Amino acid sequence: MRVLGVDPGSSATGYGLIEREGSRVRHLCHGVLRPPAGAELSVRLHFLHERLSAVLVETEPEVAVVERVFLAANPRSALVLGQARGAILAGLGQAGVRVAELAARQAKKAITGSGAADKEQMQMMVSRLLSLEKPPPTDAADALALALSYAQAGSLADLPIRGRRRNHRRAMTDALTRRLP
């Protein structure tokens, strides 16, 4: 299974592709899409859509895991992030790629053991788990963490949410943590 992780942002969108064969996971590629600084929002969104579409054609993932929106302190930032996610989701839909969503805290918990892990911890653990020579950029590391979390969860990631959402998240995080090497 080829899994593409996407960490959306209007100024930097990280992506990372892994492949899972049985219990083995290997790194295929990663990168950061950086729209032109200072460009109009519409130009940045178009850039993200086009560049991600090119990545999808090149990498052919079976599923993409996109970071779930969180509540930001600044409503404008949250709105712009939501628009960047929209451009990314539109590109994934256009390419016919199945989409899963995962909260950043869930990926952090699955990869580092702590839902409050910082960027450096994520970079180091992703590098270690994927045997990378050097840590990827922070946005790409976050994207790779999303992909790893989904790949390690296997069919658990596709289970429907029932009951209290908080308990489901805790159970999912616990299951993800137990399955990591």
What pLDDT sits at residue 17? Answer: 97
What residues contact residue 59 under an 8 Å CB cut-off, 6+ apart?
2, 4, 17, 28, 29
Q: What is the domain-level CATH number for residue 63? A: 3.30.420.10
Spatial separation of the C-alpha atoms in residues 31 and 109, rounded to whole Å: 23
Mean pLDDT, consecutive 10-residue segments, the chain of 181 residues? 94 95 92 94 95 95 89 77 92 95 87 82 90 94 94 61 49 49 46
Q: Which residues are catalytic?
A: 7, 67, 139
Q: What is the pLDDT of residue 92?
A: 96
Number of domains in the chain: 1
Strands 24-33 and 98-102: unpaired
Query: Of 58, 29, 55, 52, which Cα lies nearest the Cα of 147?
Result: 29
- Interacting residues of 78 by C-beta distance below 8 A, sequence separation 6+: 69, 71, 72
Range of the domain at 17: 2-179
